[in-house]
Structure formats: C-alpha cells, structure tokens
Amino acid sequence: MKFINRRRLLKGAAAGVTGLIVAPAIAQSKYPSRPVTLVCPWGAGGGTDAVARIIAALLEKSLGQPFNVVNRTGGSGVVGHSAFATAAPDGYTLGIITSEIAMMHHQGLTQLTYASYTPLALMNDDPPGVQVRADSPYKDVNQLADAIKAAPAGKFKASGTGQGGIWHLALVGWMQAMGLKPDHVAWVPSNGAAPAMQDLAAGGIDLVTCSVPEARAMIDAGRAKSLAIMASERNPQFKDVPTLKEAMGLEVPLGSWRGIGGPKNLPPEMAALLSAELKKIYDSKEYKDFMNSRGLTMKYADAAAFGSFMAESDKAMGAFMKAGGLAKG
C-alpha cells in the first residue's frame, strides 16, 4: 500500500487554491473588463458630441468593451464636467473636456478647473464662425456688422453655447474688435451649437457664433449660411467661407478645443493605456476621414502636453474674460 505524503498533499492543495485565487485576479486586472461611460457636457448633434462619439466608437473597437457616450447638459457645461470629475477614478467614467473648463470657474459657476482631471489627450480645436439664417438679408459679414453697429444695444440676439462659453467669448471678441461694448449683441444661452442652430433656423435669434462644422447640418439643409470664420486661414471643407481677417481686417484668436480626460488620480498604468490608445486613434485613417469629412480641425497633444495646454488656456481665458467683463472677482 502506498502512503500519501501529507506535506506534499497540503503543498499541492495550497498551490491549487493559489491558482484559483490568482487566475481571477489576473482576469480582473485586464482593463476594461466592462462598459465605460464617456460623458459629453454638451447636447447631441453638436461638434463636441460628434468628436466624443467617433472617439468612443474607436476605443470600443480597439479595447473590446462598449464606450457609451452620455450627454449630460446644463449649467453652461458645469453639469457634464462635474459628472466625470467627481466619478470614481477607476477608468469606467471618462469624459470629453472642452474649452469651457478654462472659463467656468472665472465666472463663479463652479470650482472645477483643469486640475480637477487626469488629462489623457487633446484631440481637436475649432475656430468660431458667424452663421445667419439662409433667408437673412445680409449677404456678407460686413453687411451684418454694419447692421449690428447701427442697431441699439440688445436688438440683435446670438447664441451657440452657455453663458460665458467659448462661442459667447467669440462674440465678445468680435464686438470688441469692432469697437463695440461686449454685450452690444445680447447672448441667449443654449446647451450647445445644435440647439442654437435650430433656434436660429426657427427665427428665435439672429446669429450663431459656433464653428462652421457644427453649423453644417443646417447649412446643408438650406436653412442657414456661414458668413465668416474667425481663423487665420480658410477651412478647406468650407473654402467659400472667408476669414474675418479677409473680410473685415479683424482677428479674434479663440477656438473651441476638445480632449479626453478622467477623474483626478486615475491610476497611472490605466492613464498610460488610454493615452496610447488615443494617440493610435488620432493617427488612424478612420479618425482622420471622419474629422476631415466634417471640416473639424485636428489638433493633438499627449497627456503631459494637454495638461500644460489647459493651464495656459485657463490663464489666457481668465484675462480675456476679465477684459470682456465676464469674469467675477
């Protein structure tokens, strides 16, 4: 009869238990192991929503888990930006950070700043445009500008984003460049460019200062037209739209940038993985084709550079808003 070595049996049993424990731990360490939420602080159909959705689709393709875009609008961008800033830093709630993060706290709307996030990558930067209804009597931006100058303050109404958002600042910058008061054209807050363009087409406002790509759906539908783009050069996708500098000799150095970030203190290895995937996406044919087809301007910065970019933007926007009378304190 063969005796069983008790020590060997216990050792083998322990190894088996260890294997049972370690195997699930290794499996659980694979990220992502379940669906990820990507918060968009602005409404469906706008430029930010479009960028968020193409990035989410490509992350899902490369990482093998659903990346679900959730539009959390309201509070001039505060609601959405808060939603992922305050989420658990476990990688399962990310968001698209927009240029408004460099403005909202200067207005006293929130205590959130660029430092409230783990930056992952800058993916896009678009200049403002000037859009009016298709049946507007203004044939070019100079005619519109002349009408605005001749009208009493508040007669003309504009929109494009929330109060104090990037497209509001674009309007303020244009007014100041023309020698007018920042609020000469009244601002009507909206949850993004898409609802603002709908309001424009319905006759509720006179102009929208969002990017031209965000206005494209209404332009293609024959319900709106773009008179100018506030950039140093024309957009190849909208080559018939002149720059403000061409048309009026004026420059408004502002743009709406968008990047991906997570809550502060996202684990470094997780942040590194996501940043690397975002760089692959930025370099991919799918992303380039999508952005170019919509006239959206591509601009990339890695995690560290994106963090520095946001810090610089915060400083510049603070000074700009103070000059325009939009900053508090």
What are the tens digits of pLDDT across the range 278-299? 999 999 999 999 999 998 999 9
Range in 28-42, 193-207, 315-329 with the lowest mean pLDDT? 315-329
pLDDT for residue 22 is more than 70: no
Q: Are 114 and 307 in contact (CB under 8 A)?
A: yes
- Which tokens belong to 212? 């031209």
What are the tens digits of pLDDT across the range 158-196? 999 988 889 999 999 999 999 999 999 999 999 999 999
- Mean pLDDT in the chain? 91
For the chain, list the domains and their CATH numbers.
36-126+256-323 (3.40.190.150), 129-248 (3.40.190.10)
Mean pLDDT of 81-91: 98
DSSP codes of every residue in 128-174: -EEEEETT-S--SHHHHHHHHHHSPTTSSEEESSSTTSHHHHHHHHH
Residue 110's pLDDT is 96
pLDDT for residue 24 is more than 80: no
Residue 29's pLDDT is 67
Residue 163's pLDDT is 87
Distance in angstroms (rounded) separating the CA atoms of residues 322 and 328: 8
Confidence of residue 319 (pLDDT cuts 50, 70, 90): confident
Cβ of 14: how many Cβ atoms within 10 Å? 10
C-alpha distances in Å from residue 31, one per residue of 20, 43, 132 = 20, 29, 46
Distance in angstroms (rounded) separating the CA atoms of residues 286 and 304: 25
Q: Is 118 exposed, middle or buried (0-12, 13-18, 19+ CB in 10 A)?
A: buried
* Coil, strand or helix at 60: helix
Residue 16's pLDDT is 45
